[in-house]
Structure 1
């Protein structure tokens, strides 16, 4: 006991002996003087005390006497500086030389801490969004993220402006349709659910449409439970951590940045499968974008910094009437004084999104143009253009973060985050336009209020142990609450033209009044042990409670452990291997049950027999979250100007929720068949992620270089148990031994003939497995070419192989309409032939392949796409000279997206999904179905980015 007391006393005295001082600095390129944003600033003796240079290359941190500053950035050589004595407020200027180093940035892999990437035992991808946006023009989060991280596909599920984003992360080892990752913006738990109150889920409004791309500084993508365990019961789909830009953190001053972006979009690929393709191809418009953005960063003194931005974006899509008008304001303030730090962020978005109906219905534009050779068979074009479908939304996000160092060097951090979203939906048919049998008008309105609150409190303490050992202990409490309130009414038959208020309608079709609340509280403890900035061991456990789980389930525990070891090159490897990290991790996380899975409900009705109580819903008091455990092992290696990353992961999901049949003998009606939730499913997934970056060429003067990169992913999953039953929805099946959501249906086995030998339709086989909706292989590749230190040309290709898509569009046209060219040609040929002849039989058998069986239209969807080409030119030095220093930077850029596509898919767009991404719904539904969705457009944009 005496030895333990002595050891702790020495440790505490050593901590007090260290003199902590605040320093500020700026990072720039040694040869050009251009600032370098996003550099990782690491304290070698205390890696957890580091930071990241902001969008202006500036940083601030607390440094002790006798510590060493290590600065790393992709494309530059490492920089080290030892500080024997640190002065309060000392200004540090860091000049980086061009070179190749391991991607060494500070990332947020744990809810409890942000750490240098070398210290993390999992594959967490970091995106320097500020640099990408400064030199390019991504229009959505999907364009910013897709192809830049391993193990994930991220894409818009519909080619219209403002549409949902689909996340396919790692092996998709789940039965759940809820597939979105958790999203945090500056610590705020962001509500990312799509809104479809007055339209279909395929054409819902994406909540991620409210994210201003120009304000994002960095994105960390946590892809699996091994890394996401600290985030608890909803993190099995991964976590996306977004940090926005902040004020200057360096010398006193003010910096202003302005950017204009203008561009247009158009139909990328022409429709060619139909008799009348012209009507479809001529329907699409040329869309336009105009965006104005400005921000101000200020450092008033050593303690106060401020950031403010304003953004106005007006975008029209390729579908007539599809428009998004959005204004965004964001502010951030930071105060730092001694051991106290206060941070504040606030963002406001006001927007209106018009979404004309063009997919998944009788009154859709594309279906009316696609089905018959004569277009608009179900609704006139005039009526379609007169209908208004739109969402108006106001959104406020804000956070307050407090850091304070208590006695004994205990660090207290507390953050309160708030996300408030008000959305008004409108679906309006004016009087005098015929839709179906109604020509006297109709109107549907909705009023939605979404609210997300999170409160995090963390205590942490760093211990400098003997002989280069460091120990950091952290304890975190996190409380989250989400609510959704929706009210609405639908009416029709207005009294006279020109009057459209709800009260003037003669008929009320229905009303909506729903409320949903989700509460979760988690406690997470973590111990992080490091040795000599080389060996890092992390262990943690989280306990969650939630109102979404059954009353008989007290809480859920999620453990995590990871190891990262940075190998020192052996003597014979010196000069050949720059850095080599070996890592391994295990963690568990979950997916909460769906709303009402735990609650039993009854409906009270009045009848002639008196008041009746009727069973409405049977909840399960024992329902638990779906639980995924993930083991991950990998390595990161930098050698000979090459960088290689390899990750293998294995996921085991248990307690997957399956909806089973209730027995009528227990008092539950057969109408509730398949509606009782139970934790009986199991599924296993695995995969490989490989990243490779190579500096192919560097000129002697360091002004010209060529870099190549490749991302390769392989993933698979297999259902182990589904509760003893097959689970199927139309064409998607969950069955033990098969990949989840396998396509399962009948196909044509040839033609049927009547007694006269006349073709009467197709013979349909018994249902059979026809593929899966997720690719076996996917990834990206491209290059980054820099010329004369000013001109940069970048490309990004995406590819996918092994997935299939259910082409509902072609099936419906071939079996219900007369516009599918292949079947119409075969019908015409059949009409010229004699029944019973070999030629007639051969033609009939071929025609049967385009008949009703769904399996005929489950098609391969492999593709290679040129997703992005960006050409940027840095005029900073010239502009600074021409304006006598008024312009500090000036970058011109030209961006093209979705420029080229090659695919074996029979539809117009292989990367598509009629469900519109994840969906809050019980059971399973369609996955990877193409139901007259709008294809991804080709777009071009030009921007001018000027810094003052």
Structure 2
């Protein structure tokens, strides 16, 4: 209501609302442009009263929202309502600051990266989550571990200060704890089916990436690898109406780098094919009224890989409903995926295609091509994800929120060799089937209250309970020798090779409390503490505590840079989180057997009742500054992991057999890591008519780690070593020290050195850079380059061919050259010295894997104005785009692709494995895509 107090002024009474949700906004600052210092703050109901003179301008500011500005004249109107829109500037983007709250980047003390995934997917046509994330966040490399479609994604985040090979972050989608483990029930881990393939890329609105314990402490005992928070699109728009969006994408993939390392390269290069890609996506958003909105989408996707028979078919449906009325909020999401992934064997074995093509000059030495093409390997996949979120404001302005999330996944696997095709010694057929059921459930319950001590001081208190449960059931059977051709049911097989029946359940409960104090919209202090209990930890471990504290201070207009600094934030944070022990680390098991002596009980597995999660603490400091329209960010972090799990030897004198040697888990490992992250975003050119502009960006990362304690022992797996004083998983092997000659001076082989440290699997430096060029308001060209330096990769493929086959060009050329030279001569000795490097020493094939890659180039044109005019307003949007991924690569790696890993994306088995190996892995393809995106 407007009340006249003098001839020249009025008391304005108003309420401030969130335009998207309709909720009142507490603590917004209300000021008068013409009279700085005459401001007030909105109270706990979002209301304010201020005296305003005729013609003056009201300015309303709130963290996370665009600034509202409007000039008012005298009138006798009723009270005013002000609706704020979410802010879009660098420091005003809303991100998930903790498990309890989302806040503006301005208000958090850690470097949490935010990706506008909807904008990325609208033009760049990503084929996996890795295409959206990699190169767009600091401190991480994210890539597909295999060049086939549907393959796992590898996450290398920050310094990797862990002994664990489990490097996957936690993933939440619309609040649902997402099961992101890969499936390898009927194939190898290198060619596992990625659970992240089920994510609906065109439905993703935003992605927040929490990279370390300083920010992830609120997520507790499983968050040391980071947390990825995905929000899907909603129907909320703030304006009543219906909108429809349709996107078609078509394209193809091809072999990016042809093989030239072999004597006979043609069969291998000719084996790869062009894989067609087609996708049709549509969504509908509707704001039914001020309180109700809905969202619905459908997507059909068919991707073919560059390996014949590799195909991923998926159909996805998603729906959402939001209700906001008075003190009550309801949000419901549901998604369903129906998929089928065909994964022909092409890596890691005698029967894979690439090994059969590269091993000898004459291809297919172990398995005929006809047999390889006849073998079926596939997964049928059904997945449902859904959440229900309720919110209600209780008396005394206490906000209550609860969320129940569910992720149900049913996977049927098939590995089938038809009757009549020879594989090894079997020509009468074989079949392996599996049935997997994964169930993830989480229940979050939160209470929070905001306190206003003065117009400048505010305190928000939150307490949250989170219960998570993961259940996995796998059944399978493997048979061979069918009676007659054409019959392949399990019952008709003459021999049962094995039966699988396993159950796994993980339960964790966390209780988290948080206090968030702010002063004058400049100083923000946050402190939190989480308590976790889990059935994965030992019976003697009651619970684990994880603290976190952070400070952010925002400065504007420093005296020596008056008017030049738009934003300047200093931040610091410390937090701890963990990695749970592997399944069965805490449980002791015995095996009951029947024998001629009667029933016997023998030790099967020794569990540790004192086993705890790995604990990683992280100190992070940094600054963000916007200066002369350019934005810079700098972050320094230190990580210290203690209680790292090391598997030690059990003493036979304690009753445990020697076969369990090195299988007893203990929390005795320590590792340190550190790094820096530097970011730059800026507009370097804008034309006078504002139609043309050029934006550039760059990310630079440096990271390192060092093992502090490994229990006084070396842990070596193949070529990766855990040793005190070295980087984790350092490469460790023997190398050739030169040729060996017989009494006649003839070359007989290579002399091997002792074991040596030969580098590390993680890069010392990595990052990205690129530009966005806008022309004539409608035409836009975007690029993304990624780079890496300091990492090495074990080229098992080249070693195996050089040692076992006749097709490795470098070795065969030297052998032919040596045969023409005279033993004992200088030339002969020099050739023999070169030849000795290809005689099979593992270390000679641990190679540098530096690279610079043009990861993405996208050209898009906005036809919206033209389309709207031609359709009389029916079409609201029309964008066409052409995208190329992995267009160019420069690398000193000897193989075809420097950024792959035969171990796949995750590991959930006991013991220390090995990292960064190229075992006939399919290289990353080059892809081209065209898309048409229209909106009604």
TM over 0.5: yes
**Relative to 1, partners in 2 of residues 1:88 and 1:66: Cα closer, same or farther, differing over 3 Å?**
closer
Structure 1 unaligned segments of length 5 or more: list them. Answer: 1-17, 28-40, 48-60
State which of 593, 610, 617 in structure 1 corresponds to 2:581.
593
Q: For the Cα contact (< 8 Å) 2:90–2:105, is it kept in 1? A: no
**Root mean square deviation, CA, Å:** 2.3
Deviations 1:397-455 (A, max 9, x none): 00000010000000000000000000000000000000000000000000000000000
Q: Which residue of 2 aligns with 1:811?
A: 799
Query: 3-state SS of the aligned residue for 2:92?
Result: coil
State which of 777, 783, 786 in structure 2 corresponds to 1:795.
783
State which of 743, 748, 751 in structure 2 corresponds to 1:760.
748
Query: 3-state SS of the aligned residue for 1:367?
Result: helix
Deviations 1:723-744 (A, max 9, x none): 0100110100010100000000
Is 2:203 the counterpart of 1:224?
no
Deviations 1:154-183 (A, max 9, x none): 000000000000000000000001100000
Is 2:639 the counterpart of 1:656?
no
List aligned pairs for 1:706-855, cutoff 5 A.
706-855=694-843
Q: For the Cα contact (< 8 Å) 1:597–1:620, is it kept in 2? A: yes
Task: Give the Å deviation of 1:641.
Answer: 1.4
Q: For the Cα contact (< 8 Å) 2:275–2:306, is it kept in 1? A: yes
Task: Give the Å deviation of 1:72.
Answer: 8.8
Task: Give the Å deviation of 1:760.
Answer: 1.9
Q: Which stretch shifts more, 586-595 or 466-475?
A: 466-475
Deviations 1:894-920 (A, max 9, x none): 110000000000000000101012211
Query: 3-state SS of the aligned residue for 1:233?
Result: helix
List aligned pairs for 1:154-193, cutoff 5 A.
154-193=142-181
Task: Give the Å deviation of 1:349.
Answer: 0.1
Task: Give the Å deviation of 1:836.
Answer: 3.0
Q: Which residue of 2 aligns with 1:45?
A: 28
Is 2:386 the counterpart of 1:391?
no
Q: For the Cα contact (< 8 Å) 2:240–2:288, is it kept in 1? A: yes
State which of 361, 366, 377 in structure 2 corresponds to 1:378.
366
* Whole-angstrom CA distance in 2 between matches of 1:608 and 1:94: 79
Q: Which residue of 1 aligns with 2:511?
A: 523
Aligned residues: 901
Q: Which residue of 1 aligns with 2:287?
A: 299
Q: Which residue of 2 aligns with 1:456?
A: 444
* Whole-angstrom CA distance in 2 between matches of 1:908 and 1:87: 71
Query: 3-state SS of the aligned residue for 2:758?
Result: strand
List aligned pairs for 1:554-633, cutoff 5 A.
554-633=542-621
Q: For the Cα contact (< 8 Å) 1:704–1:786, is it kept in 2? A: yes
Is 2:647 the counterpart of 1:647?
no
* Whole-angstrom CA distance in 2 between matches of 1:86 and 1:529: 37
Is 2:280 the counterpart of 1:289?
no
Task: Give the Å deviation of 1:282.
Answer: 0.3
Q: Which residue of 1 aligns with 2:34?
A: none
Q: Which residue of 1 aligns with 2:539?
A: 551
Structure 2 unaligned segments of length 5 or more: list them. Answer: 1-12, 31-43, 51-58
Q: Which residue of 2 aligns with 1:918?
A: 906
**Relative to 1, partners in 2 of residues 1:310 and 1:270: Cα closer, same or farther, differing over 3 Å?**
same
State which of 90, 96, 112 in structure 1 corresponds to 2:100.
112
**Relative to 1, partners in 2 of residues 1:220 and 1:367: Cα closer, same or farther, differing over 3 Å?**
same
* Whole-angstrom CA distance in 1 between matches of 2:698 and 2:27: 31
Q: Which residue of 2 aligns with 1:349?
A: 337
Q: For the Cα contact (< 8 Å) 1:446–1:486, is it kept in 2? A: yes
State which of 365, 368, 386 in structure 1 corresponds to 2:353.
365
Query: 3-state SS of the aligned residue for 1:382?
Result: helix
TM-score, with length taken from structure 1: 0.93
* Whole-angstrom CA distance in 2 between matches of 1:26 and 1:541: 30
Task: Give the Å deviation of 1:574.
Answer: 2.6
List aligned pairs for 1:81-480, cutoff 5 A.
92=83, 101-480=89-468
Task: Give the Å deviation of 1:25.
Answer: 5.9
Task: Give the Å deviation of 1:830.
Answer: 1.4
* Whole-angstrom CA distance in 2 between matches of 1:308 and 1:86: 40
Is 2:28 the counterpart of 1:24?
no
Task: Give the Å deviation of 1:302.
Answer: 1.1
Deviations 1:65-84 (A, max 9, x none): 3596448999xx96556999
* Whole-angstrom CA distance in 2 between matches of 1:631 and 1:748: 43
* Whole-angstrom CA distance in 2 between matches of 1:548 and 1:169: 24
Deviations 1:779-816 (A, max 9, x none): 00000111111111100000000000000000000010
**Relative to 1, partners in 2 of residues 1:718 and 1:506: Cα closer, same or farther, differing over 3 Å?**
same
Is 2:923 the counterpart of 1:935?
yes
Q: For the Cα contact (< 8 Å) 1:347–1:397, is it kept in 2? A: yes
